Amino acid sequence: MDSDSGELSDGDLVSAAGPDHFSSKSLALQAQKKILSKMASKTMANMLIDDTSSEIFDELYKVTIEHMKSKKDAHKIMKDLIKVAIKIAILYRNNQFNAGEMEIIEKFRKKLNQAAMTVVSFYEVEFTFDKNVLSGLLNECRDLVHELVERHLTARSHARINHVFDQFASVEFLAALYSLDGECRPHLKKICDGINKLLDEKIL
């Protein structure tokens, strides 16, 4: 599943959703179509990334640009995030995880839920933000993702996972994201609005 034949080249992605016209949804649709076209089973018609998650990803892209000062680098991170998320979703929906891995999924869900609630709480409750606490939770999520896909994906995907979490779990990024007078504040509000919606709908 993670062979070179199933990978998306930079050319493939930039042609449809270049750095100047970023859309998580279009990128995810393209990645899904590309990955599924390499699989024997093509029965999945449903979009693997929902509208609310796409909106959160779009805001993450914007704050990543603010932090990295590079549309190209931000686009690469989001591309890696979306590709890993879709591959895990495909594995899950095709019942590829064994009993032990399903236990890891439950641990990951609980940890991701904890991280999501912490993201929102740190935004909504003044003077509670602790970059080290949030970074620690996100890095625990990273470790569980690595453990989950160990049997299924190649070193290339593990490198993508590290690339994503190296950005979003870094204390420098989190400090910039939660800066009270920083340019990321409006984006953080939209991210938290989206997370709250996913929490209310029991998706997170």
In this prediction, residues 180-187 reach a mean pLDDT of 91
Average pLDDT over the chain reads 84
pLDDT at 190 over 60: yes
User: Of 93, 67, 109, 84, nearest to 27 (Cα)?
Assistant: 84
pLDDT at 33 over 70: no
What pLDDT is stored for residue 204 in this prediction? 82
What pLDDT is stored for residue 50 in this prediction? 81
- More reliable by pLDDT, 120 or 18: 120
Pick the CATH number of 46-201 from 2.70.180.20, 1.20.1440.160, 3.40.50.720, 3.90.79.10: 1.20.1440.160
pLDDT at 102 over 80: yes
What pLDDT is stored for residue 156 in this prediction? 94
DSSP label of 119: H
CA 133 to chain centre: 19
pLDDT at 93 over 80: yes
What's the whole-model pTM score? 0.77
What pLDDT is stored for residue 19 in this prediction? 47
Q: Where are the domains of the chain?
A: 46-201
